[in-house]
Amino acid sequence: MKYRLLALITFLFPLLSSAQEKGLDEKVNDAFMPFASWWEGFVLTPISIAGYNLPIVLILLIIGATFFTITFKFPNITKFGLAINTVRGKYDELDHHSVEKTELSAPDGDLPGTIKDESKEGEVSHFQALATAVSGTVGLGNIAGVAVAIALGGPGATFWMIVCGLIGMSTKFVECTLGVKYRDVGPDGTVYGGPMYYLSKGLKERGMKGLGKVLAVIFAILCVGASFGGGNAFQSNQAAVQLSTMLSLEGGATGVIIGIILAILVGIVIIGGIKKIASVTEKIVPFMAGVYVLASLIIIFANFEYIGDAFGMIIGGAFTPAAGLGGIVGVIIVGFQRAAFSNEAGAGSAAIAHSAVKTKYPASEGVVALLEPFIDTVVICTMTALVIIFFNMDVGAFDYGNAVGSTVLLNESGAYVGGVDLTSMAYDSVIPGFRYVLTIAIILFAFSTMISWSYYGLQSWKYLFGRGKTADIVYKVMFLLFVVIGAAATLDAVIKFSDAMILALVFPNMIGLLFLFPRVREEMDKYLTDIKNFVKSK
């Protein structure tokens, strides 16, 4: 296989030099941009409140996350230790030492009357489920997305990203608990879970079968689109940008060629299903996150004397933003929008991966899941933001708020850069040559996110079109096609489409969560009671 891949690369790259002035990349982008712009405008439809135009989806996201944080008594703080203990396996014996048998529910293709063993069902461990879900969230949103946030909203956008991450931990706890509670398990042990199932089955329990079915179908359709956008096209786009910049590749088909290569590599992994994906992500995610965090810490400690000034800019900019940023509400919108894209809390996507965990306690996976936004947004996004802020403090590379699209104007060269290029410049300014390491990290980030999101999209596709092999193949071919489209299009077009697709998931998902959260309380009480009894018996 590797020799065939090398042969393909050798054959394809010479095509770059023969590309026309308006090459294939630009043609793909021209075709893609109008739809991306329309879809972004539709999903981010605003309403006017006190003279401010606020996107409805962000209002729903913020209200829901705040409500869950208060209702469950700040689980992002009070359940943090429990989450650590659960993911490291402290309560695994509790989870597997007894067998609880219950009737399988019959809707959506289940086999009525079948008995399931809740202590054995599932396909992956707590850590693997977390790694798979984190690989779907800890990606280029943390590298390129933070740069976009600072370009558009200044340092103050970082503050609101952190706030969104903290309250998003509560939302993630709710949706992932429900994901395990209402999952389906096929005759062969394959798990089918996610918002599609808790919307349809959970709302049916509440006497709202019709609403549940409609919301489930809407979510599944949008999740397929999100897997093509934020979970795919954005990742391949930024990987292609970094590769072409580092290798000085030019030509009208550069993005297409890189996209084809990425699509082949992704295709090799996603054929194996969730077990294969989990086995890959549990190795890639800790490694790439470790490298990135280590480099960030080196730069942060090298600039430690300025850390107070940096946080002063972050906090000050959150409430007194620089001119031209649209005021404080504009900065809040940018911060929450970028955080929502990065950690996906409220979108429901991670519940699909967490549903595959081996457990009989849905709440056990809910508490594990609340670690995601903390790792993703509170830790990694903040580190990225500090590095970019230090970079600008040191060399005055650009002016905050002087953004065009998703890029900023460099004061020295007069060039516009954004996304991963800006982040790469910031890291390279302190650790010369780090752009090569960052390129590898970016490719791994993009790769792991794409394979995780391929699973999310496939589960949604199966919910819509059945669980046959033909449906699988059709989806995977379409997914791989968007790898190529994303690599060829511009960042502005891709981020419009990707943002809107991820955020659109909030509408059906959050409505369901607000109806079903009492079930989460029941499951949490059950888990905590059994832990107490288990500890007493030891």
pLDDT per residue as tens digits for the range 136-163? 556 666 776 787 778 777 888 888 889 9
pLDDT of residue 327: 60
CATH of the domain at 67: 1.20.1740
Of 67-76, 296-305, 397-406, 474-483, least confident by mean pLDDT is 397-406
Q: Which of 289, 269, 25, 30 is nearest to 134 (CA)?
A: 289
What does DSSP say about strands 407-410 and 416-418: parallel, antiparallel, or unpaired? antiparallel
pTM of the entire structure? 0.78
What confidence tens digit (pLDDT) does each residue in 487-513 have? 877 667 777 777 788 888 999 999 999
The string of DSSP letters for 443-498 reads HHHHHHHHHHHHHHHHHHHHHHH-S-HHHHHHHHHHHHHHHHHHHHS-HHHHHHHH
- Its domain, for residue 273, covers 25-91+119-531
Residue 20 inside a domain? The answer is no
Contact 12, 259 (CB under 8 A): no
Q: pLDDT band at residue 116, thresholds of 50, 70 and 90?
A: very low
Counting residues of the chain whose pLDDT is more than 70, the rounded percentage is 75
Asked if residue 469 belongs to a domain, the reply is yes
| Dist CA 164 CA 64 (whole Å) | 11
In a domain, 103, yes or no: no
Q: For the chain, what is the domain count?
A: 1
Closest CA to 491 of 139, 230, 228, 250: 230
| Closest to 420 (Cα-Cα) out of 133, 122, 145 | 145
182 found inside a domain: yes
* Packing angle, helices 420-430 and 146-153, rounded to 10: 100
Residue 29 lies in a domain: yes
How much is the mean pLDDT over the chain? 77
Q: Does the residue 399 lie in any domain?
A: yes
Residue 2 lies in a domain: no
Q: How far apart are CA 350 and CA 346, in angstroms?
A: 9
Task: Let me know if residue 426 belongs to a domain.
Answer: yes
pLDDT digits (tens, 9 = 90+) for 80-94: 998 888 877 777 777
Strands (E), 161-229: 184-185, 191-192
Mean pLDDT of 337-364: 81
